Structure 1
């Protein structure tokens, strides 16, 4: 048996057991505050939106805390279409969380009378605090938005959305692609799963991941056009790909979201997109990344309005 050449936990070619997962967990440290950076900010949302607790995570045994999970909405009116906005599926992807919060604090007021809007600003608070992709059990929430999910973060969202009485027209899921995807999370995933790691070039700029079963090309294009005013759209690599996938149009790739258990596949919405910004780019700042997420949300809502919804 040989040590894993790409990650210093585990044996090459062998999946992690409980001992390896425990070793990984000892390295995770609280680095920022969900209470101060998320919950305090969410005390100041635009009028007309109310908070509902849809779950709670007790991670004290893993060195974390007790994390209440909140959804914000302006009510469910049968005469309006419903739009879902989610952030913080991967807690380390900061602008997804902060972009959802900023929308609730500002632009949401412009759309509250036209749409039913449901916002889940931070699905993975332990991941936010530890700047992590996984939960404490070394599981990725974004592969586990399924019935009877083994991931508490995902199961809470699935349960909450099952209670919605109206169908969802559009879902905007806010994410980032970071340098740490290649330096930490992809090598860790390969080691955990007993596989060989392969990295890809991190796209420099903003791009979208649509659903290959319902790509909604016009929807994706409208979002990228809106975002291009505040952030560059990521160019394809030399193979015409982004993150190893062939582009369907500039700045867009598609995944089979429901089949992969991704958050973007959690509803039957015909309009679905996952945003990806690159916060480590020399051409980007934290504020610009937040504004790109905001522009994506607004671009999506304006597209739906222009379509007559």
Structure 2
């Protein structure tokens, strides 16, 4: 069995995050600007997922320091990041591309175009869909989890299956891996044979605003579920538990950015299970509201079978 891979631990959102910049610079053996950081997850659907939370914290801290110059790669519109010297940006005009299905192909082509316009030695890609080899550049990437590799993805989802196969193939060609947890680091070693010396454990930090005096909803108590409908989240078991406990006064609030068809499937299951009026999808909860929702919940329920890190645990 391969040894556990932790090499350096960095808590993003804390002072230790500055060490990430030093690690990135040292791995390139090149003066400023040594590294480009992909910030496109702040401008696509990932902005309302855990990936966006991770990249936002990393980008803000790297932009705030001036010891190592960073080149930020993104789109020209709506970049929620202030970039000042010694840093710079390579921003492309946004092309027409799907938000989800097949996005990986467009994202990889755009990343290759940015690489041709840049002279940096190394590129840290934070969007899994955008991971692609870049000729003439060392490749760094953040790995959030390998759950689909462990649990499988249906070949019937042809586009998604092809995209994930491409991701795994490209993942094997990375020079340095930033894994968000020890579990993800172990999976890189055990499932892909990545040497432990190429893995950096860079756990996300949590920076919730303090709860305000505001309240949301009525006086009814509630359980709070934060996340998507992915199989590893184990939401069906939670719905079954609600159906078996009809005398509980709490309703179940499901928070997260879901596709309309996912919400429709949830509502159909809720209706078929006799849970109408007891389970509600409330959509994405912004940071200013999240702390209050967490504070007022009877419990934050996390039924997941596996996670890359599990942000709701830390947020709760």
Fold shared by both chains (TM-score > 0.5): no
Q: Please, what TM-score do these two structures have when normalized by structure 1? A: 0.32
CA radius of gyration, larger in = 2
Higher helix content, 1 or 2:
2
